[in-house]
């Protein structure tokens, strides 16, 4: 039961919110004639009773607004409520109702939207086109989502939205790099809310575009609009797809408004924050920023390990802890890479029928791990000398001509970067040079490497030869 049920004041505030929502999508004449003179007179938690000033008005409201009203109530109260219309002659709105300021009204309605308002007055539930089927991955649920410091905020916000759609963070905007769990969270919201009985549309921005495109081609824009504007939740994946598609943005903008002002929940994901969606029309981008914006960053070591454990277990894969640790330590990228590593281990296990040891894992995943460099310093010197057409002796000498100073510095830089020598070690290697000289050389080349394309090419060539098999 909602406490609101008994308090007249709350009932008035609720009705005021509903009126404001309807006002935005009806012609002023219809609104003034039918809706303004009616009011909510009772709410027992199950059924809202609305009083109209005469039988004619009651019939009109009943036939035209029942469904729209029920939907708005879902948006405002977070659950389904019945509606009953009665006749009560002196049903002028009281001064109290007129004055009551509802707690959380959306920002004022933009002018440009008014024309595109959905035709709630005419639209009866039965006539509405069906929603696209929900295609959800069975594993993308809240339960299988491993929470860590880099995704906990996105996770918590998604859960809150799934529990009370339209009432917490609206819109919710989740952004982050590839493979970090955005789609997973979005589908988890879709699954949970559908199970709770909400009408849910989940699709990628690209699919939205396809529906849109088809509707234009088949002259079915009305059906298209109704279809997406009757949902309780609209979940759109990868909205960066909208960049550069102006008509699509326009349509998306109207869909957004139609839903938003009815208190329906909207969730977006993108690969970057709204401010970085630079090419997006400003008014659409600003909509994205109305609600809550959360990011997902690449997982830290602990979370990677937890994800690996969970996934290995789910796959029924027996992997020694030291192998999981090795993967978690060295695969820092996204979660798909982690899954890829486990898939490879599984394939190996199935193929060879052997347990996965650390050695086996090292071999199977060698190309994923950073190279363990066994750089032979003499070989490195030879490669540098060849590239710069000097001799190894010249490199090792104290000669100061430009011709040998640069390659010598490059050799020092590579010993440092690739062979992981310390500055004093490098100084020693070059016949007892001071480590500050080495430091200077390494820094100079590191800077030049950023700016100097020709030098970068030379160093790349040396590395290629250095790491090729021969």
Helix ranges (DSSP H) in 100-204: 152-163, 182-195
Contacted by 352, from Mg ion, ligand ADP, none: CB < 5 to 8 Å by type: none
38 forms part of the interface with Mg ion (CB under 5 A):
no
Q: Which stretch binds Mg ion (CB under 5 A): 102-110, 162-170, 179-187, 303-311?
A: 179-187
Select the residue interacting with ligand ADP from 84, 336, 457, 461 (CB under 6 A): 336
Kindly tell me which of 296 and 426 has the beta carbon lying closer to ligand ADP.
296
Smallest Cα–Cα separation from 94: which of 130, 31, 51, 54? 51
Measure the CA–CA gap between 322 and 215, rounded to whole angstroms: 55
Instruction: Please spell the DSSP secondary structure of 410-465, one letter per residue.
Output: HHHHHHHHTT---HHHHHHHTTS--HHHHHHHHHHHHHHHHH-HHHHHHHHHHHHH
Kindly tell me which of 51 and 294 has the beta carbon lying closer to ligand ADP.
294
Half-sphere exposure of 276 (CA within 13 A, CB side): 11
Instruction: Using CB positions, name the residue nearest to ligand ADP.
Output: 181
193 forms part of the interface with Mg ion (CB under 5 A):
no
| Cβ contact 233:201 at 8 Å | yes
Strands 39-43 and 47-52 come out as: antiparallel
CB of 272 to Mg ion, least distance (A): 13
Strand partners, 40: 50
Measure the CA–CA gap between 161 and 163, rounded to whole angstroms: 5
Select the residue interacting with Mg ion from 158, 183, 193, 409 (CB under 5 A): 183
178 forms part of the interface with ligand ADP (CB under 6 A):
yes
Kindly tell me which of 117 and 312 has the beta carbon lying closer to ligand ADP.
312
314 forms part of the interface with ligand ADP (CB under 6 A):
no
CB of 210 to ligand ADP, least distance (A): 19
307 forms part of the interface with ligand ADP (CB under 6 A):
yes
- To which residue do tokens 């430091």 refer? 439
CB of 179 to Mg ion, least distance (A): 8
Strand partners, 176: 296
CB of 145 to ligand ADP, least distance (A): 5
Site residues (vs Mg ion, CB under 5 A): 182-183
| Contacting residues toward ligand ADP, per CB under 6 A | 140, 144-146, 151, 176, 178-184, 307, 335-336, 339
């Amino acid at each position: 039961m909602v406490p609101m049920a008994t308090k007249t004041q709350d009932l008035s505030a609720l009705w005021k919110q509903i009126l404001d929502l309807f006002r935005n999508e009806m012609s002023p004449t219809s609104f003034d004639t039918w809706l303004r003179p009616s009011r909510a007179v009772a709410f027992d938690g199950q059924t809202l009773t609305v009083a109209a000033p005469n039988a004619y008005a009651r019939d009109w409201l009943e036939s035209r607004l029942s469904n729209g009203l029920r939907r708005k109530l879902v948006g405002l109260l977070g659950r389904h409520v019945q509606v009953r219309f009665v006749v009560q002659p002196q049903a002028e709105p009281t001064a109290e109702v007129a004055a009551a300021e509802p707690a959380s009204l959306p920002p004022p309605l933009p002018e440009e939207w008014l024309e595109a308002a959905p035709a709630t007055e005419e639209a009866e539930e039965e006539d509405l086109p069906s929603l696209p089927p929900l295609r959800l991955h069975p594993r993308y649920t809240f339960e299988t989502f491993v929470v860590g410091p880099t995704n906990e905020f996105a996770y918590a916000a998604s859960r809150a939205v799934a529990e009370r759609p339209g009432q917490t963070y609206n819109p919710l905007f989740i952004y982050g790099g590839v493979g970090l769990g955005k789609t997973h969270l979005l589908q988890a919201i879709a699954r949970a809310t559908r199970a709770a009985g909400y009408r849910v549309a989940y699709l990628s921005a690209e699919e939205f575009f396809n529906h849109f495109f088809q509707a234009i081609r088949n002259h079915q824009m009305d059906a298209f609009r109704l279809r997406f504007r009757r949902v309780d939740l609209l979940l759109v994946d990868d909205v960066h797809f909208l960049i550069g598609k102006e008509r699509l943005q326009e349509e998306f903008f109207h869909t957004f408004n139609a839903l938003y002002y009815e208190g329906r929940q909207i969730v977006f994901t993108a690969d970057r924050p709204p401010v970085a969606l630079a090419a997006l029309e400003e008014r659409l981008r600003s909509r994205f920023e109305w609600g809550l914006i959360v990011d997902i960053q690449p997982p830290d070591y602990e979370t990677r390990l937890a994800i690996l454990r969970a996934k290995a277990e789910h796959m029924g894969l027996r992997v020694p802890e030291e192998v999981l640790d090795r993967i978690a330590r060295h695969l820092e990228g996204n979660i798909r890479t982690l899954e890829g590593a486990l898939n490879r281990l599984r394939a190996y296990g199935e193929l060879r029928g052997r347990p996965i040891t650390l050695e086996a894992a090292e071999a199977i995943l060698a190309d994923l791990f950073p190279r363990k460099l066994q750089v032979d310093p003499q070989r490195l010197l030879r490669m540098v000398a060849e590239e710069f057409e000097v001799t190894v002796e010249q490199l090792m000498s104290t000669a100061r001509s430009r011709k040998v100073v640069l390659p010598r510095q490059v050799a020092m830089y590579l010993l440092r970067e690739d062979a992981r020598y310390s500055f004093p070690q490098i100084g020693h290697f070059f016949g007892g040079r001071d480590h500050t000289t080495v430091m200077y050389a390494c820094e100079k080349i590191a800077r030049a490497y950023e700016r100097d394309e020709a030098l970068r090419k030379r160093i790349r060539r040396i590395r290629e030869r250095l790491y090729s098999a021969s």
